Amino acid sequence: MRFTLLSMIHKALRSALSDDIIAAQQLEFNHQNALSNYLSTATAHLDILHIHAELEDEILWPLVKENGGELVRKLETDHVKDAELIEQCRAALRKLENSTSAEDFTQNQIALIWEFSELLAFNLMHMNIEEQQIHPLLWEKYDDMELQKTLGLMAGKSPKELFMPTLALFKKSCSHTELSNWYNSIPKEAPIKGMVAEQLGFAQVN
Ligand SMILES: [Fe+2]
């Protein structure tokens, strides 16, 4: 079995966007704490998705441009559409936050559920294509060690404030084996190693 570079982050994103829809369905007007928590979690999820697409464009696609030019162009176009859908979700979050009455809130809530559903539906198919078609192209040209290094490079370029929310998503949406393999692939000297050990409950060997 070859290394599937996109597996963990895609599991995290499926889980994040599904959770955002379910949690949105349960929100109530004037329950301020629940709404604030929802807004910050959903915003972090949108940020994680947006950065992930940018890192694919910047780091991953150049690796397969030679043997997958047409596919790369399709995925880049998908990412433009994705950015638009993400902006629509952000606008829906702002509208919900600024609801002026219970009725207004209910209308904004259903509109937000539709926006997040569209984003999820689009990304479910988009991620399928990436996993089904990008992984084989990467495997043709690179060994697993090189691909693990590429993943490390992508993680290193992700904003620090998104690390903890991403880790929380990994924890809830990936298998123990996958988490353990990932943890073991992080170099001992990497600053995140201790944090990952603590959050995922792995014993750190010094
Ligand atoms: Fe993508």
Kindly report, residue by residue over 94-113, the tens digit of the pLDDT: 999 999 999 999 999 999 99
The whole-angstrom separation of Cα 134 and Cα 63 is 10
CB-based neighbours (< 5 A) of ligand 1, an ion:
53, 56
Question: Contact, 196 vs 179, CB < 8 A?
Answer: no
Residue 75 CA, ligand 1 centroid: distance in Å: 7
Question: Contact, 149 vs 190, CB < 8 A?
Answer: no
Helix 102-129 vs helix 7-25: angle between axes, to the nearest 10 degrees?
160
The whole-angstrom separation of Cα 10 and Cα 49 is 9
136-191 tens-digit pLDDT:
999 999 999 999 999 989 988 999 999 999 999 999 999 999 999 999 888 888 88
Residue 52 CA, ligand 1 centroid: distance in Å: 7
Residue 171 CA, ligand 1 centroid: distance in Å: 21
Residue 206 CA, ligand 1 centroid: distance in Å: 36
Torsion-angle region of residue 201: left (phi > 0), alpha (psi -120 to 50) or beta?
left
Question: Contact, 144 vs 56, CB < 8 A?
Answer: no
> Is 89 within the bounds of a domain?
yes
> Is 149 within the bounds of a domain?
yes
Domain span at residue 63 reads 7-158
Residue 129 CA, ligand 1 centroid: distance in Å: 9
> Is 73 within the bounds of a domain?
yes
Judged by DSSP in three states, 101 sits in coil
* 160 closest CA partner among 191, 181, 186, 182: 191
CATH number, position 33 = 1.20.120.520
* DSSP-assigned letter for residue 57: I
User: Which pTM does this prediction carry?
Assistant: 0.95
pLDDT at 206: 53
53-67 tens-digit pLDDT:
999 999 999 999 999
Domain total in the chain? 1
Query: Of 40-54, 84-98, 109-123, 150-164, where does mean pLDDT reach its minimum?
Result: 150-164
Residue 53 CA, ligand 1 centroid: distance in Å: 5
In one letter, which amino acid is 169? L
The whole-angstrom separation of Cα 15 and Cα 169 is 7
Residue 145 CA, ligand 1 centroid: distance in Å: 22
Angle at 97 between CA 93 and CA 99, to 5 degrees: 115
> How does residue 204 score in pLDDT terms, banded at 50, 70 and 90?
low
Residue 96 CA, ligand 1 centroid: distance in Å: 27
Helices and strands counted in the chain (H then E): 10, 0
- Tokens 């084989």, residue located: 136
* Mean pLDDT across 79-89: 98
> Is 204 within the bounds of a domain?
no
* 24 closest CA partner among 91, 90, 116: 116
pLDDT at 186: 85
The whole-angstrom separation of Cα 151 and Cα 183 is 13
> Is 2 within the bounds of a domain?
no
* 42 closest CA partner among 165, 160, 186: 165
> Is 206 within the bounds of a domain?
no
> Is 41 within the bounds of a domain?
yes
